[in-house]
Structure 1
Amino acid sequence: MYRAASSCYGFQDQGVMIAAANPAIFNNRAACGRRYRIRCTGRTNLGVLQPCRNGEITVRIVDLCPGCGANQFDLSQEAFSMIADPNAGRIQIDYNQ
């Protein structure tokens, strides 16, 4: 399996509960290693009408998501699928550190 290097940890394995942070949160690598609790709150499109699954997850920041907006994270597939239907692609979230 090919694994891309992360901005924070290179090729070091950080597990699957990981995320890339938007530029403001990433703050020039200051967020590396921080943990965020993330919960799905709703849909962003008409594709999947009820994408959320119960509960919240905790992810570790390992990379920058340059295309992410102010309240966005790019979650690993494993992390995303724990809180939402993967077919949704994007969801609304609440998060805190």
Structure 2
Amino acid sequence: MSTVKIYSTALIIATILLSLGLEALSNNGIGTINDPPYTPSACYGFEDKGVMIAAANEDLWDGGAVCGKYFQVTCTGGTNLGTPHPCTHTPTVTVMITDFCPPPGCQGDLDLAHEAFSTIADPAAGGIKISFQE
């Protein structure tokens, strides 16, 4: 086998393995919409952290260890028949975790600020399927 074929094969295998590894780092869940005001928050009290923020559900909260971490959130589809295709042409946004979304009120994994949610989906959807990663 020629050196070029070996390198080409190795490159293809590496690309496949890398893409599988990155997919494994993503979580799937539900994103919901949170309307202002966004303060006080469980992480920062009355300190304003902007509008590209989110609250984490109990599973992600980890006793507050998730405060200040950034998550890349991608809209992957609708959760109801009312808005079957809610994702926008910009389906990914980066948000900082600033708050806790406790049960039973929390209906998703990440409760996105209205501005962050509307960047990736139609706000009328209220909730969307998402993939997210730190």
TM-score after normalising by structure 2:
0.67
Output the amino acid matched with 1:80.
F
Query: Does 1:86 find its partner at 2:131?
Result: no
Give 1 or 2: higher helix fraction: 2
Indicate conservation of the 8 Å contact 2:51/2:115, yes or no. Answer: yes
Unaligned runs of 5+ in 2: 1-35
Output the amino acid matched with 1:56.
T
TM-score after normalising by structure 1:
0.91
Query: Does 1:17 find its partner at 2:52?
Result: yes
| Structure 2 equivalent of residue 65 of structure 1 | 101
State the distance in 1 between where 2:78 and 2:38 align.
29
Output the amino acid matched with 1:27.
D
| Structure 1 equivalent of residue 6 of structure 2 | none
- Tell me how many residue pairs correspond in the alignment: 96
After superposition, the Cα gap between the structure-2 partners of 1:79 and 1:34, relative to the gap in structure 1 and judged at 3 Å, is same
Q: Which runs of 4+ in 1 moved over 6 A?
A: none
CA drift of 1:77 comes to 0.2
SS in 2 for 1:82: helix
SS in 2 for 1:13: coil
| Structure 1 equivalent of residue 81 of structure 2 | 46
Q: CA-to-partner distance for each residue in 1:15-71, whole Å, 9 max, x for gaps?
A: 0000000112111110000000000000000111210013310000001111336x6
Indicate conservation of the 8 Å contact 2:42/2:100, yes or no. Answer: yes
Indicate the percent of aligned positions where both proteins have the same amino acid.
49
Find the partner of 1:4 among 35, 39, 42. 39
